[in-house]
Structure 1
Amino acid sequence: MNLLSLYLDHPISKSALEYSFDLTMNKGVENGYYGRNDTLHALLAPFGVLTLIADEKRTILSALSTLGISMEDEQKLITQDYPIQIDPNHPEAFSITNQVIILREDTVLSLNVIALAISQSVGLEHYEKRLDTLFSQSRRIVASIHHFSISRRSHLMQFAKRLALTRHDMVSNLLLLDKPNILWDNEEAENLYNRLAFILELYDRHEIALSKLSQIKEDVMLVMDIINHKKSEFLEWIIIVLIAVEIVMGIMEMVK
C-alpha cells in the first residue's frame, strides 16, 4: 500500500471530498474526517492536511487530480509518503522503521492512526517553514533596532500579532500536546501512534518549534521596550522644549 500526506494551500470541504472521491466522510480523528471505498482511504485533518492511502500510487495521483492538485510541481508542495505492507503472518500487530510500516491487518483504526501521525508531521513541517520566515524577519528587526518611527512601531505590532496567531495555531491545531481521543480506549492503537511519533520525531520537533517561537517573542519584546523607551525620551524632549519656549516667552513679556 502507498500513503501520501499533503498540506493543502486552500481549504477543501468534506462535501467536496465526498463528491470527488465517491465516498462518505465520517467524523473520526478529533475534528477531522475520514472515508473509505474499495480503492482509497482518505483522512482530512483539522489543520489542513489531506492523507490518502491506496494499493496503487496512481490511484492516489488520480484522486489528487480530481481536486486539481498536480504532483508535477512537488518541490513547492509539503508532502510526505510512507509505504505500508500488510502481512497476516507478521509476528507482531505492527512494526515500523524509517523505510516501511508493516501491519498484520489494515483496520480502519490502524490506518486512521497512521494517517494522523503522518499528517501531523506534514502540518509541523508547514509551521517549521513559517517559523524560519518569522525567525529571519525577527533578526532583521533586531538588526535595525536603532531606527525609530511611528510606522515601524505599527509594523512591529502586526509582526507580534502574526507570531501570537502562529503559536495559537500550532498548539490548538496540531493536537501534539494532548493524546488523541481515539487512543484512550485502545492500547494497540496508542502503541502504534507512539511508535510513529517517535520515528517522525514529532514531540522533539514540536518542542524546537515552540522554543523558536519563544526566542522570537523575546526579540519582539526587547525591540518594543527599546521603542517605547525612545518614544518616552522623544516626548520628554518635546516637554522640555515647550517649557523652555514658555520660559523664554515669559521673560520676553517681563522685559516689555
Structure 2
Amino acid sequence: MEIRIEAVQIAESFNIKKFRAEFRAEVFSGSTSEVFYALTENNRYLYVFDYGVVVFANYDAIAKSECIQFMKSYATKIVDLDLSEEYRIITDERLNKVLVKNDYVTVAQIDSSLLRIVMLNIGQSVALEHYEVLTDELITSSKHYIQELENHGKLSISKTNLLKYIGKVLNVKNSIVDNLYILDDPNLVWDNEELNLLNRHLKANFDINPRFKDLDYRLQIVENNLTLFTDVLNVRESARLEWVVIILIALEIIIALFFH
C-alpha cells in the first residue's frame, strides 16, 4: 500500500475557526491553529494550518484543485508562488522499524496518527520554504542598496520607500515569530515512542531545525542592514536640516542689513 502526500502553500494565513465551522466533515484532531481530517469514506486525509499551508493525502488532481479553490475563500492573502512538496508513505508488514528516506517513509502499518505526523512535517517544510523565499528577496534588495553605498557613498532611496522596506522586513519577521509553534512537537508523540522516533527522523530528513536557524540568521543580517540604512538616512536628513538653518540665518542677516 502506498499513500501520496502533497503540501501546498496557498496563502499567508487561513481563518481556521471559520473553516472548521463551514467544512462539512468531522474533525479528527485540531486546535485554534490547525485542523486534521481523516475522511475515511474515500480514504483521504486533509491537514490545514493557519500559516497558509494545506496538506493532502490520497487526493487526486481534481479533488485537490477543488479543495484549493474552496480554501482560498478562507485566506487572508493568496501566495503567488509555486510552493509545494510531495512525499510518500509505503507499507511493508515485514518491517519492525520505521525507515525514513528523502522522498518516502516505509512503515509496517498506517494509521491516522502516523499520517498526521508525516503530513505535519511536510507542511512545516513548505512553510519554511515560503519564508526562505521572502528572506532571500529581502537580502537581495538590501544588497542593491549596499552596492550603491559602496559605489556612490550614498543612498538614492527616499525616506518613504525606506520606511516601506522596513515595514516589509518587520512584517516577515513578525509572521515567522507568530508561527514559531510550527517547530513544536505535537502532543501525540509524547506518549508514543514509535511516533516520537518517526517525528525526529522526519525533522532531520527535512532539515527543519537547521533551516529555521538559518532563516533567523538571515533575518538578523537584514535587520543589521536596516539599522545601517536608517543611520545613513538620518545623517542625510540632519545635513539637509543644517543647510535649511544656515540659509534661514543668512536670509535673516541679509534682511537685517538691508533694513538697517
Residue number among 73, 81, 84 corresponding to 1:79 in the alignment: 84
Instruction: Provide the identity percentage.
Output: 23
Tell me, in whole angstroms, the C-alpha distance in 1 between the residues paired with 2:142 and 2:227: 11
SS at match of 1:125: helix
- Give the match for residue 73 of structure 2: none
For these two proteins, the number of residue pairs brought into alignment is: 239
Pair 1:30–1:90, CA change in 2 (3 A): farther
8 Å CA contact 2:10–2:68 kept in 1: the answer is no
* Runs of 5+ consecutive residues of structure 1 not aligned to the other structure: 70-74
| CA root-mean-square deviation | 2.5
Residue number among 108, 129, 139 corresponding to 1:104 in the alignment: 108
8 Å CA contact 1:36–1:42 kept in 2: the answer is yes
CA drift of 1:232 comes to 0.7
- Give the match for residue 163 of structure 2: 157
Deviates more, 1:220-229 or 1:134-143: 134-143
> Which amino acid counterpart does residue 4 of structure 2 have in structure 1?
N
Tell me, in whole angstroms, the C-alpha distance in 2 between the residues paired with 1:175 and 1:207: 14
Tell me, in whole angstroms, the C-alpha distance in 1 between the residues paired with 2:31 and 2:93: 26
- Give the match for residue 223 of structure 1: 229
Pair 1:183–1:155, CA change in 2 (3 A): farther
CA drift of 1:164 comes to 1.1
- Give the match for residue 89 of structure 1: 94
CA drift of 1:81 comes to 0.8
Correspondence 1:25 to 2:27 = yes
TM-score (norm 2): 0.82
Correspondence 1:143 to 2:147 = yes
Residue number among 115, 120, 123 corresponding to 1:116 in the alignment: 120
Pair 1:184–1:160, CA change in 2 (3 A): farther
- Give the match for residue 129 of structure 1: 133
> Which amino acid counterpart does residue 193 of structure 1 have in structure 2?
N
> Which amino acid counterpart does residue 83 of structure 1 have in structure 2?
R
Task: State how 1:239-250 maps to structure 2 within 5 Å.
Answer: 239-250=245-256
- Give the match for residue 72 of structure 1: none
> Which amino acid counterpart does residue 175 of structure 2 have in structure 1?
D
CA drift of 1:17 comes to 8.2
Residue number among 4, 24, 33 corresponding to 2:6 in the alignment: 4
8 Å CA contact 1:78–1:125 kept in 2: the answer is yes
Would you identify which runs of 4 or more consecutive aligned residues in structure 1 move more than 6 Å?
none
8 Å CA contact 1:171–1:177 kept in 2: the answer is no
TM-score (norm 1): 0.83
Correspondence 1:204 to 2:202 = no
Residue number among 37, 41, 47 corresponding to 2:39 in the alignment: 37
Pair 1:170–1:91, CA change in 2 (3 A): same
8 Å CA contact 1:121–1:202 kept in 2: the answer is yes
Tell me, in whole angstroms, the C-alpha distance in 2 between the residues paired with 1:88 and 1:189: 17
CA drift of 1:202 comes to 1.0
Deviates more, 1:60-69 or 1:37-46: 60-69
CA drift of 1:178 comes to 3.6
> Which amino acid counterpart does residue 126 of structure 1 have in structure 2?
H
Deviates more, 1:222-231 or 1:245-254: 245-254
8 Å CA contact 2:8–2:126 kept in 1: the answer is yes
